[in-house]
Amino acid sequence: MRLFIAEKPEIANAIADAIGGQWTDKGGYKEKGDDVVTWCYGHMLALKEPEDYDREKFARWSFEQLPYCVLPAQRKLKGGSSDKQTRIIRDLLKKADTVVNAGDTDEEGQLLIDELLRYYNYTKPVMRIWFSVNNKKIVTKALQNIKSNKEYEHLGFKAEARAIADQLFGVNLSRAYTLAAGGYTTLTVGRVQSPILGMVVRRDRENASHTKSYYYTIEADLVVNGMSFKARYRPTANDSVDDARRLDDESQALSIVKACQGKTVTILKAVTAKKSTPPPLPYNINKLQQDASTLYGFRPDKTLKITQDLREKHRAITYNRSDCQYLSDEQFEDAAGTLSVMANCPVVASLAANADASIKGRVFDSSKVSAHHAIVPTDEQIDWQRFSGDEKNIYELIAKLYAIQFYPPNLYDETKLEVDIDGFTFYVTARVDTDLGYKKVWGSNSSSDDEDNEDGENAGSVSADLRSLTDGMKGSCTDCQSQKKETKPLPLYTMKSLLNDLTRAAKYVKNKSLAAKLKEKDKDKKGESGGIGTSATRSAIIGNLLDRGFITEKGKNVVSTDLGQKFYDTLDDIIKYPDMSAIWYEQQKQIESLDDVEVFITNMMKQVVEPEIERLKSVQLQVTQTYPCPICTRPMVRLKSSHGYFWGCTGWNDTANPCKHTMNDKDGVPTEREPKPAQNLSEFDCKKCGKKLILRKGISKAGKPYRFFGCSGFPKCKTNYDEVNGVPKYE
């Protein structure tokens, strides 16, 4: 039996479709002759936590148990809804003569299947199929080019090293920092999480410490050949300028204005070029999260959850965690069918119906498709009425960006002038639309729209038709003015700008020589240039920083809290800057085997984790304010349950003098809980525990109201009795 194990169901279906013939659905896998296809739901295994190895030893945090490191690292079943599918894969492996790894075409995709094979000790031949688009032609070609899995195993080992290192880095340093700060609040550390916190804290401080200064712009009103327009002076190497190459000397600015006023104008250079702007590309998850935050105020993790439901529950969109904004050339064939389906969706019907499916734009470029392609609608019929309001909003964004690919580009003529006024050179750029193209139907609410900078490259841009002007033409300067402008601080982060900065975090490394390494990691990724984290993980990491109170949303801005700033100040530079990701990338390039994985982990522990633990053992970090228990005065500690955060007395497990007082959490501060309302006890007793019964109301399965007697000892005693004529029916 040849067993294909795919990373997700849609890949398994694409393989079955490409092989062809009649397949029998067996529930969890499909079968045809000697071929079987089954699938995972992402990672089916997880690394064991310290408590999984020794609960008694690791459940209570202490410096004595650090540093923690178990090699080789062991895995466990993730549990939950995926367990059934894991058992199906296990049983199929027992029968398989050959396995074909059909994970995604990246390091994580390789590991996802390989770790299952190692977990179940599969020793028979393993092959690898390699394709990133579920198009029948592409998959058929990939089936004809199946290779040995050994040619790809090194990719999985790199992902393995990163996963183990991330866990050990986080487990060890989170415990060490928490203990060094007294253990009153959990202080989590992560290779990606901590640099993100660092970026937010540093931005807040740069914004707050901004020193006001001034610069000057000069604009001239010109008339040439009967046409009036404005031109902007661009400072030269001889001018006094600031770091942004803006005039910073008022007297010099006024001198230029005076010299140009009323003088003759000569066009030194006039160039008109035909240009075009294509429609904005479809979404990847990062861009989608940016727009969802701007338009609807959604947190990144909320947007990810909505797209997961759109994909799995409604089958309305393609893979939702993609970091790519392109589609393969072969997917162009699907356009007509997808647009036809979209034409039945109210919010995008007109845009889809008027789209031209024969237009093959820049989005269709197989060379730019990575492990996944852009997030686009599927060609499956959808039931719009079953969508929630949030699902409708996100689907509309995705669908509109796909539909706009089938509209023509915006065509325009751009004229650039260099103008001399009394020896000073001014510049102007003018554009005239010759065909609005997609802009006839497209607004400006997409993350793909560029933002103009009035003092940057777009300075001096005008909406005027200057195409008839040529070199040597003369005119006059009717007015010239200088404007005094105030420098602006770096703006506080918004969720959109933070997500965008995470794709180019290389510019924030402490050791600038490492920036190139981080950029090299993303050399084949469009839209990423030295990013940290992945499109699939950033939302959860930002969510964790928000939930733990290190950062918060203040209006449209994302800012650090007092806790986040104090925690940041205790962190070592190697932790709070993105340098670690660059160092790991460089070291992981050498990984080719499991032995290499262990060498990498051992070195990471010795060079980073162990020295930091030793340092923290001898310091007392002042990160959080301590709050005494109102009952026994011992410190309260902030904890998290399935219902959210709360505070508990640290004396809860003191065998001699226990205190189990708990309090509510309000913005990181303990507050007393509202007293529970007095229970309306009846005169009747519970026959099981002897406590009084309470007359309660309920709703039957048929939807009808009814009354019953429940024990006041609930939830410890869950006994209840039917109510008959106002009394409990004990029999």
Write the DSSP string, 586-614. Answer: HHHTT--SHHHHHHHHHHHIIIIIHHHHH
Length of the chain: 731
| pLDDT at site 677 | 73
Classify the phi-psi angles of 482: left when phi > 0, otherwise alpha if psi is within -120 to 50, otherwise beta: beta
Question: Tell me, what DSSP letter sits at residue 247?
Answer: B
| pLDDT at site 458 | 52
Does the pLDDT of residue 624 top 80, yes or no? Answer: no
Which of 9-18, 51-60, 89-98, 299-308 shows the lowest per-residue confidence on average (mean pLDDT)?
51-60
List residues bridging with 373 in a β-sheet.
none
| pLDDT at site 459 | 57
CATH 1.10.290.10 at 285-406, yes or no: yes
Find all residues with CB under 8 Å of 594, minimum gap 6, and list them: 72, 157, 160
Cis ω for the linkage preceding 72 (within 30 of 0): yes
Does the pLDDT of residue 449 top 50, yes or no? Answer: no
| pLDDT at site 447 | 47
CATH 1.10.3720.10 at 164-208+494-618, yes or no: no
| pLDDT at site 448 | 46
**Which amino acid appears at position 506 of this protein?**
A
Classify the phi-psi angles of 69: left when phi > 0, otherwise alpha if psi is within -120 to 50, otherwise beta: beta
- The set of long-range contacts for 32-37, using a CB threshold of 8 Å and a minimum separation of 24, is 34/1, 34/2, 35/1, 35/2, 35/4, 36/1, 36/2, 36/3, 36/4, 36/92, 36/96, 37/3, 37/4, 37/6, 37/12, 37/13, 37/102
Mean pLDDT of 552-564: 93
Residue 408 tokens read as 């023509």
Mean pLDDT of 341-361: 94
Banded model confidence at residue 374, pLDDT cuts 50, 70, 90: very high
Does the pLDDT of residue 133 top 90, yes or no? Answer: no
203/507 Cα distance (integer angstroms): 13
Classify the phi-psi angles of 129: left when phi > 0, otherwise alpha if psi is within -120 to 50, otherwise beta: beta
Report the 10 Å Cβ neighbour count for 650.
Answer: 17
Banded model confidence at residue 602, pLDDT cuts 50, 70, 90: very high
717/731 Cα distance (integer angstroms): 18
Find all residues with CB under 8 Å of 321, minimum gap 6, and list them: 285, 304, 372, 535, 536
Mean pLDDT of 196-208: 97
3-state secondary structure 261-324: CCCEEEEEEEEEEEEEECCCCCECHHHHHHHHHHHHCCCHHHHHHHHHHHHHCCCCECCCCCCC
Beta strand residue intervals within 526-660, DSSP E: 551-554, 557-560, 636-641, 644-649
Under a CB-based contact definition with an 8 Å cutoff, are residues 632 and 649 in contact?
yes
Report the 10 Å Cβ neighbour count for 182.
Answer: 16
Residue from 148, 403, 431 nearest 283 by CA = 403
Residue from 375, 394, 467, 392 nearest 428 by CA = 467
428/421 Cα distance (integer angstroms): 13
What three-state secondary structure class fits 524? coil
**Which amino acid appears at position 113 of this protein?**
I
CATH 3.60.10.10 at 214-278+410-486, yes or no: no
Find all residues with CB under 8 Å of 91, minimum gap 6, and list them: none
110/112 Cα distance (integer angstroms): 6
| pLDDT at site 195 | 96
Burial readout 659-670 (b: 16 or more C-beta within 10 A, e: otherwise): bebbbebeebeb
Banded model confidence at residue 92, pLDDT cuts 50, 70, 90: very high
Report how far apart, in Å, the C-alpha atoms of 336 and of each of 342, 399, 403 are.
Answer: 10, 14, 10
Under a CB-based contact definition with an 8 Å cutoff, are residues 629 and 654 in contact?
no
Under a CB-based contact definition with an 8 Å cutoff, are residues 321 and 535 in contact?
yes
| pTM, full prediction | 0.82
Mean pLDDT of 73-101: 92
> How far does the chain reach from its first CA to its final CA, in angstroms?
60
Under a CB-based contact definition with an 8 Å cutoff, are residues 618 and 229 in contact?
no
Under a CB-based contact definition with an 8 Å cutoff, are residues 291 and 447 in contact?
yes
CA-derived radius of gyration, the chain: 32
Catalytic residues: 319
Mean pLDDT of 159-163: 96
Which of 452-466, 526-540, 692-706 shows the lowest per-residue confidence on average (mean pLDDT)?
452-466
Q: What is the pLDDT of residues 234-248, one digit of tens each?
A: 999 899 999 889 999
Strand order in the sheet with 147-148: 24-25, 29-32, 35-39, 2-6, 98-102, 126-128, 147-148
Residue 103 tokens read as 């994970």
Banded model confidence at residue 450, pLDDT cuts 50, 70, 90: very low
Residue 690 tokens read as 């002897």
Classify the phi-psi angles of 583: left when phi > 0, otherwise alpha if psi is within -120 to 50, otherwise beta: alpha
Q: Do domains 164-208+494-618 and 285-406 have the same CATH topology?
A: no
Residue 185 tokens read as 């609040």
Question: Tell me, what DSSP letter sits at residue 452?
Answer: P
Under a CB-based contact definition with an 8 Å cutoff, are residues 401 and 282 in contact?
yes
Banded model confidence at residue 158, pLDDT cuts 50, 70, 90: very high
Mean pLDDT of the chain, nearest integer: 91
What three-state secondary structure class fits 695? strand
Mean pLDDT of 270-292: 96
Domain boundaries, the chain: 2-161, 164-208+494-618, 214-278+410-486, 285-406, 627-671, 681-728
175/595 Cα distance (integer angstroms): 28
| pLDDT at site 457 | 46
What kind of fold does domain 2-161 have according to CATH? Rossmann fold (3.40.50)
Rounded to 5 degrees, φ, ψ at 691 are: -80, 165
Alpha helices in 453-529 (DSSP H): 495-502, 515-521
